[in-house]
Each structure stands twice: as C-alpha cells, then as structure tokens.
Amino acid sequence: MNIEEFKEGKTLIVDKPLNWTSFDVVNKLRWNLKRRLKVKKIKVGHAGTLDPLATGVLVICTGKHTKLIESLQAGEKTYTGTILLGKTTPSYDLETEYDQDFPTDHIDEILLEEIRASFVGEQDQMPPIFSAKQVDGKRAYDLARAGKEVKLKTNRITITDFKIDHSRFPEIDFEISCSKGTYIRSIAHDFGKALNSGGTLIALRRTRSGDQRIEDAKSVDYWIDTIRDAEGNAPRAIEK
C-alpha cells in the first residue's frame, strides 16, 4: 500500500480496543502518519464516538476523506452488549460505582418481552449526564464529575430492532439497531426503569456503523503496521 493513499484520503475500519477513547485511536494513527510522511499536520478524524468501555467498529478518515465524516456518521448503528438488572450507576455504565440496588424478583419473561417491544420505534431519549454533550460550552461529563447539576435536552432517536436473551438473568444480553445519536447507556438505564427495577450497561460492542461491519475491522496495531510497511522499513502487516 502506498503511503500517499493515506495522505490523499482513506477510510479505515478500526476495532477499537477496550479502555481507549475514540480520540486515543485518532491520535495514535495521526502520530504514526505524521512520522511516516514527515509532515507536521495531516487530517485524521473519526465518524462517531465510542465510549472508552465500548469496543468495536470505529470509522477513521484521513486526508480528503475527512469530508465524508458527516455522511458516515449518519448511518444506522448496531450494537451487542449486556445489561445488568437490579443495579444502577450515575454514568449508567461501569465508569462509576454502583449507587443503588433494586428488586428483580417480579421480572419474568412476559414482562421482559413487553418492555423490550415498547422500546422499538421512534422516541425521545435523555442522554446520560456523563456524556460529551455540550452544556454552556462545557462537556456534561466534566460538570457531572465536579458534582454540578447537569440539565440536558432529549434527542429524537429511532430503534429499528431490539433483541434480548435473558438466559443469564439478571444479566440481559442484547443486540440493538438504532439511529445516530442513540445512547446505549440510556437504553440500559431506561430499560431497567421500565421494568420497575434498575439497569446498568456492563458490556458494549459496536458491530456495524452504516455500511462498515466488524468483520472488516482491523486492530489499531494492524493499521500502524500497515503505515510502517508502506514506508518499507517494517514487517508486512498481518491481520489480527
């Protein structure tokens, strides 16, 4: 692969590692591209944030392909993951400690199916206060971590498909397809609340973003090796 392709513009499908931010991936690839190309600047951006505790499809654009980011972000997303019922955290996931316990004895298969079905369709969703939403010029999560009150507006979202597997109850495994801007952490929280209990997202993986699928994603190391291989001074890149 010619390194100039990255400079001109490429779309990379990355399998984001656990505990990395989306910007960590962007910065790592940008640093390696600048070093290889011996330039001070190169455009690199991502088409849709993934939380640090999530893994999976992260679309990275370089060069002129950064102009495609807005259209790539607009595509429907698919996620798999696990919701733990009976507990909540302030962040709706494991970024923060559990703060409340709720009963789960009343939850049966019939109630689970009824609530699952109610989530399919167009709806208003309240984002988590531990999110990157802007509030008076500041990130909501910065205000939340400082213990300040955070007031957010709802987003209009659409859930087109929502499957659950309760065989490991109170852990609920799921697969969900949804529109841009959907917070899966809020789905977990709201799902637990609708069951008259609590819910926390304890695992999340994005398997599709628009036309980009996890089967086509490569590790960060794969893309770094590919960049170096184009330079001709590193071993040929191997797939993860």
Q: Mean per-residue pLDDT for 103-127?
A: 96
For residues 52 and 94, the answer to whether their CB atoms sit within 8 Å is no
Tell me how far apart the alpha carbons of residues 184 and 233 are, in angstroms, rounded to a whole number: 42
Please provide the average confidence, as pLDDT, over all residues in the chain.
90
Examine domains 3-74+212-231 and 77-209 and report if their fold is the same: yes
- Of 13-27, 47-61, 96-110, 137-151, the one with minimum mean pLDDT is 137-151
pLDDT of residue 143: 67
Model confidence over 144-178: pLDDT tens digits?
676 776 777 888 999 999 999 999 999 999 999 99
| Strand-pair category, 77-85 with 100-101 | unpaired
Is 51 part of the annotated catalytic residue set? Answer: yes
Range 77-209 has CATH code 3.30.420.40:
no
**Domain ranges within the chain, ordered by starting residue:** 3-74+212-231, 77-209
Q: Which CATH number fits domain 3-74+212-231: 3.30.2350.10, 2.40.50.140, 3.30.360.10, 3.90.226.10?
A: 3.30.2350.10
Q: Which of 15, 24, 51, 108 is catalytic?
A: 51
Provide mean pLDDT across the span 50-73: 95
Q: What are the angstrom distances between the C-alpha of 216 and each of 3, 59, 194, 223?
A: 20, 11, 36, 13
Cβ atoms < 10 Å from Cβ of 77: 23
pLDDT at 131: 66
In angstroms, the CA 7 to CA 62 distance is: 7
- pTM of the predicted model as reported, rounded to 2 decimal places: 0.89
How far is residue 14 CA from its own chain's centroid? Answer: 12
